[in-house]
Structure formats: C-alpha cells, structure tokens
Structure 1
C-alpha cells in the first residue's frame, strides 16, 4: 500500500472515530437536558410527563410547612 493510501485511510479512520464520539456526547447531552417550567405551565399540563424538569418560581409567603421528622417540608410555588 502506498504511503498516500495509508494517510487517507488514517484520516478517514480518525474522522469516523470523531463522528462516533460526537454522536455519543450529543446523545448523552440530550438525554440529560432539564428544562425550567413556570408554575402556570405545570398547572396547564405543559411540563413533560415521566421526565425530570425544574420549576421556576417563588415560594408563596406563609405556605412553608415543616413536618415533624425535621426533614420534610411542604410549600406552594407561584409565578406571581
């Protein structure tokens, strides 16, 4: 095999490895994306079902309740 052919095969192999690595990274990134939703969107059912998401809002004043176990807390989130 000529040195030119070896060089072309080496470059093509490197590009193939790079493409596989980029595909794996992008797939992992997409599966770990977490979106913010407002409380109004969550109440309207716009938040994804069966997936994790973050809710952005403020804790309603006076709604914070601490449970007797000292760990559990309940509160109402609002977007004013």
Structure 2
C-alpha cells in the first residue's frame, strides 16, 4: 500500500528562508514605530494617537485585501491519507 505524503508550505525548505528577511524587516520596523510612539507620546499625545489609529486602519485594510495563498486540505485528500 502506497502512502501519500501531504507536503505543507512549512516543509518546503526554500520558500520560508526567502521570506525570513521580510519578516525580520517587518519586526524591526514595528519595533521602531512602537519606540518612536512611546518617545513622542508625552509631547504630542493627540498626534501619536491619530498616527496609531491610522496605522492600525492601514494594516487592517492591507490584511483584508491580501490574497489567501494557504492551501486547504479537502476531505478527499484527508480520507486518502
């Protein structure tokens, strides 16, 4: 009996390493924005609150308009395994 192996995106080796720089860059930029907001808040509280609101709104819009590229395993594939 042959066993079929379902290869997920996490097991594909090269693709995750290509996105590693992008993930690190995003976390560094997020850290810089948070530290900057904390440093500016005592002097410009309304500006920082508006900036945080619009950044959250922008991130929500970007996430909602992004294509979902994750592959979903259907029932037929699950039964065959």
TM-score using structure 2 length: 0.35
Structure having the higher helix fraction is 2
Greater fraction strand: 1
- Structure number with the bigger relative contact order (C-alpha 8 A, sep ≥ 6) is 2
Point out the structure with max Rg over C-alpha. Answer: 1
TM-score by length of 1: 0.35
